[in-house]
Amino acid sequence: MALIVQKFGGTSVADCERIKNVVRRVIATKKKGNDMVVVLSAMAGQTNHLISLAQEMQEFPHPREMDVLLSTGEQVTIALFCMAAREMGVEAVSFLGHQIPIRTDDAHTRARIEDIDAEKLKAVLKEGQIAVVAGFQGVTGTGDITTLGRGGSDTTAVAVAVALDANLCEIFTDVDGVYSTDPNICATARKLDRISYEEMLEMASLGAKVLEIRSVEFAMRYAMPLHVRSSFTDTPGTMVVKEDATMENILVSGVTYSRDEARITISKVPDRPGIAAAIFRPISDAGMVVDMIIQNARAGDLTDMTFTVPRADYRQTMELVKRVASKIGAENVAGDDSIAKVSIVGVGMRNHSGVAGRMFEILASHGINVLMISTSEIKISCVIEEKFTELAVRALHDGFELDKGPAT
Ligand code: ASP
Ligand code: MG
């Protein structure tokens, strides 16, 4: 007997039939003797629909009113869930964020959870009822409704699980788990049975869109085990857990990629203290986030600086950098927005060498030129020409034999 939080995403509650299926599933788990807390998203497409309505009213919708509007999507699904459950003879009680309350800061449309009062949920569970919580929403200290940012229901689920000291938080979605790479690109991609929080964070931020990043950070901080699985099948999904000794030897768990990249090079910059600050300060002041940075020495007192930014920020960053370049006496600014980043992720890289060399060999053997490299403890990323993205992903997946399981 355990306390389980189950979260269902928009496609799992897209219509009444699907909601009834979700209810059956929850009841089945409850009948095994578990206490059940359910967190729901809005029906698929509903949040987007609400956003488009808002935009018909105001070019930049007022953030407080936006949250009043967006939070309605989840209000619909939790109520329908509870009705369906009662029709099936099981008592379920719905809760909006402010009824619990789930307290957040006042950053409307991207609020952060500060505190959850678990008492009402516990009381419902004690009565043998199912507690059903609206995802994605909370309330400020002064009673204003907030939302947590797109995909925020995952975070609600993990936060509720932590507040209740649940045994497990299950995230039901439209894929059956976390894959070794994107199955749309690589037919031999394999569902991972287990992955560490750290690897999941690297995979998520690199483009594997299964879980909202913030929810993984939250789960990691409180060591809440996550189970990512499909709401359309009964097969087990992927467990996202604390790293343990058995994971130490995993050199590569997955291959990820991002096409959302652009590269800018400033060449022949006078090499003196303050140059990097002069270049990057205006970029960050403009709210743009630089990812990789490489500085190369040249003969004489000159240096080249190359860095990447999200592709959406490319034009604006180029403008900024051109202005700065003339001020600091750089010779040239060049850019390229048809690049991509491919990465390999694995906790075992921490203690083993040779993984990077192997990655470069694999790319080279397919004629793929590496334009930039960056590494972290458990990740190696290479920037390549965008047209090679799919080839690179497949080559790395094959090269590390990830179709047979994580590379050791
Ligand atoms: N309904 C919200 C969204 O579409 C929250 C969520 O589904 O996680 O972003
Ligand atoms: Mg989601």
- Residue-range domain boundaries for the chain: 3-174, 245-408
Q: What is the pLDDT of residue 208?
A: 61
Q: What is the pLDDT of residue 28?
A: 97
Q: Taking the CB of residue 273, how many other CB atoms lie within 10 A of it?
A: 6
Expressed in angstroms and rounded, the spacing between residue 333 Cα and the centre of ligand 1 is 40
Ligand 1 atom nearest to 151, measured from its CA: 8
Mutate to test the pocket of ligand 1, among 153, 173, 211 (most ligand atoms within 8 A of CB): 153
Residue burial 68-95, b: 16+ Cβ < 10 Å; e: rest: ebbbbbbbbbbebbbbbbeeeebebbbb
Ligand 1 atom nearest to 48, measured from its CA: 4
The CATH code of domain 3-174 reads 3.40.1160.10
Ligand 1 atom nearest to 74, measured from its CA: 1
Task: Measure the CA–CA gap between 388 and 350, rounded to whole angstroms.
Answer: 28
Helices (H) and strands (E) in the chain, counts: 12, 18
Smallest CA separation from ligand 1 atom 5, residue: 151
Mutate to test the pocket of ligand 1, among 40, 70, 136, 212 (most ligand atoms within 8 A of CB): 136
pTM of the model: 0.88
Residue 148 near residue 104, CB atoms below 8 Å: yes
Strands (E), 60-197: 92-95, 102-104, 113-116, 130-134, 137-139, 145-147, 168-173, 194-196
Q: Which ligand is nearest to the CA of 173?
A: 2
Q: Which ligand is nearest to the CA of 153?
A: 1
Expressed in angstroms and rounded, the spacing between residue 171 Cα and the centre of ligand 1 is 13
Residue 91 near residue 130, CB atoms below 8 Å: yes
Q: Is 42 exposed, middle or buried (0-12, 13-18, 19+ CB in 10 A)?
A: buried
Q: What is the pLDDT of residue 115?
A: 97
Ligand 1 atom nearest to 150, measured from its CA: 9
C-alpha distance across the termini of the chain, in Å: 36
Smallest CA separation from ligand 1 atom 8, residue: 151
Could you identify the residue written with the tokens 């990655």?
A: 359
**Cβ of 120 less than 6 Å from ligand 1:** no
Under DSSP, is residue 65 helix (H, G, I), strand (E, B) or coil? helix
Which residues make beta-bridge pairs with 341? 258, 383
Mutate to test the pocket of ligand 1, among 11, 38, 41, 48 (most ligand atoms within 8 A of CB): 41
**Cβ of 47 less than 6 Å from ligand 1:** yes
**Cβ of 153 less than 6 Å from ligand 1:** yes
Specify the DSSP class assigned to residue 349.
Answer: G
**Cβ of 150 less than 6 Å from ligand 1:** yes
Expressed in angstroms and rounded, the spacing between residue 159 Cα and the centre of ligand 2 is 15
Ligand 1 atom nearest to 149, measured from its CA: 9
**Cβ of 136 less than 6 Å from ligand 1:** yes
Q: What is the pLDDT of residue 174?
A: 86
Smallest CA separation from ligand 1 atom 6, residue: 151
Task: Kindly indicate whether the domain formed by 245-408 is annotated with CATH number 3.30.2130.10.
Answer: yes
**Cβ of 97 less than 6 Å from ligand 1:** no
Q: What are the φ/ψ torsions at residue 291 (nearest 5 degrees)? A: -100, -95
Among 157, 285, 147, CA closest to 229:
157
**Cβ of 137 less than 6 Å from ligand 1:** no
Q: What is the pLDDT of residue 1?
A: 83
- Residue ranges, the chain, pLDDT below 50: none
